[in-house]
Amino acid sequence: MITLTNTYSIQQVAELTGLTVHTLRYYERIDLIPHIERDDNGYRHYSDGDIGRIRFLCCLIRTKMPLDQVRRYAELYAYGAESDEERFEILNAHRAEILRQIDALTDTLARVDYKLAKLHPQHEPESVRETV
């Protein structure tokens, strides 16, 4: 029999996403990840779709969206097109937050570079060395 959809154990998903198995279960427990299919033993079988969704949620989390909001966003998947408006609002608000963070980082980068130059004036900028 040819399986058209791959499935993955929790361990494999941990490797694929960079999360720990503990964190994956925790995220599911707090309804941040929708219910994952189980086999006869109760073992989780993640689909490719699950992994895609988890990866996107990880992007939101890594960029500091609070888990509450991620949960709300994840919950809306279940409501389909009806929930488009609210999902748009959530992502759009987070977009603004991302821009703020980039601003803060860019500003701090400049300040750090200034200090680095004062500490080791003879050095080339690190960005040059890094790209070599």
Applying CB under 7 A, among 3, 5, 41, 122 the residue interacting with DNA is 41
DSSP category for residue 125: P
33 close to 24: Cβ distance less than 8 angstroms: yes
108 binds DNA (CB under 7 A): no
With contact defined as beta carbons under 8 Å apart, do 21 and 33 qualify? no
Provide the minimum distance between the beta carbon of 91 and its own copies in the complex, in angstroms, as a whole number. Answer: 5
Report residue 47 as tokens: 């689909």
Q: How far is the CB of 3 from its own copies (least distance, A)?
A: 28
30 binds its own copies (CB under 8 A): no
Asked if 1 interacts with DNA (CB under 7 A), we say no
Contacting residues for 56 by C-beta, under 8 A, at least 6 apart: none
CB atoms within 10 A of CB 70: 21
The residues with which 7 forms a beta bridge, in sequence order, are 47
Interacting residues with its own copies between 69 and 98 (CB under 8 A): 84, 87-88, 91-92, 94-96, 98
- C-alpha separations of 22 from 60, 76, 88 in Å: 19, 24, 30
Judged by the rule CB under 8 A, the positions of this chain that interact with its own copies are 56, 59-60, 62-63, 84, 87-88, 91-92, 94-96, 98-99, 101-102, 104-109, 111-113, 115-116, 119-120, 126, 130
Judged by the rule CB under 7 A, the positions of this chain that interact with DNA are 9-12, 20-23, 25-26, 40-44, 61, 66-68
